Amino acid sequence: MTVFNLLTMFVRLSLILISVMVAAGCGHDTQLADRIGKDEAAANVENAAPYQFDANNAPETPSEPDKEYPGKTIDEIFPITSNITSIDDNGRESDMTVDVEGLKVNIVDYVPRTLSHDGKIVFKFKKREPGGYWGTVVGSSHLRGVETTEIYVGVSGPRGVCCTNYSITDISNGRPKNMYHSEDFGNFRHPMEIFDGDGDGVYELMQFDSCFRYFMDDCGSCSPEPRAYFKYNKAKGQYLPVAGIAQDFVREGHQHSDKWLAEKYDELQHTGDVGLGTDIRRSALAHMVDLLFIGEERKAWRVFDKYIADPKGETRREIKKRLAGCKVYQSLKRR
């Protein structure tokens, strides 16, 4: 997926969101990406470099037709049932109660607080950082097959375009139980994507980790944003970080990245183009961090050693410092 395609996707989401806001009541069927993408799209467009390589898919020639992004967000497969945002044009408050699967989701300041049934609280959501939230969407899903049911809640915030956090609660047996809480594993951006990588009928989760944002004072959209993967652990009844899996199109993108880096690095040796050198550095950083997050450590550091000039070791130290603060990565290292 090229940077042009990425920006096109975000701008399209922004236009859709504006159209929805003009429509009466901001309908409840709007996809999650439409609800939480507006500010993120603006931030990415504003901060985007003139040219930036996407770590997941190498740049395509301008003549190649535009391609639809193949990732599927959770709401595309399991549509949302209700939403509330600070940008609604009908003056909604930040508090509401949502009916989902016979339960009531109580939302205060855009944050889910409890699930209740017949006036009795049956589940309390984990606490979130106070303040700075601006949108919530709620839906039901069948991530583990048609015989199971979950309630998922996506929360925009805290602060501007910082985060898109999720809670997933198992309600299959009448006793709600937490299955996934984003903040247990860090801070993430953009809508959650889901896919069944091994074909066992149980969806895996993917979120974009923000622990490398503004890497070495680079712009937000220029910094690595690795994909963090989560697989359902039946014994623990939770989604936990996992290495060794990735969406098929992402693996194909890694192959394109290897080819693009090799070709452009050879070109750099002949031209000495400073702008191209910056592109290669950013691209190599994004590619290596993506590889680290799927457990390909040796290949990741080979990419670093080949394509990133680091005579004083400053970049290597900063990468290791960031990794030490990445909850997903540290969880993978402990397994």
Place of tokens 């923000």: 210
pLDDT digits (tens, 9 = 90+) for 240-260: 999 999 999 999 999 999 999
Residue in 119, 19, 2, 126 with CA at minimum distance from that of residue 57: 2
pLDDT digits (tens, 9 = 90+) for 209-222: 999 999 999 988 89
Residue ranges in 194-247 assigned as alpha helix (H): none
pTM of the model: 0.79
Residue in 113, 110, 129 with CA at minimum distance from that of residue 121: 113
> Counting beta carbons within 10 angstroms of the beta carbon of residue 66, is it exposed (0 to 12), middle (13 to 18) or buried (19 or more)?
exposed
In DSSP notation, 63-82 reads TSPP------BHHHHS-EEE
Residues in the chain: 335
For 267, half-sphere exposure in the C-beta direction (CA atoms, 13 angstrom radius) is 13
pLDDT digits (tens, 9 = 90+) for 19-59: 333 333 333 333 443 444 434 443 343 343 333 334 344 44
What integer pLDDT is reported at residue 169 of this predicted model? Answer: 98
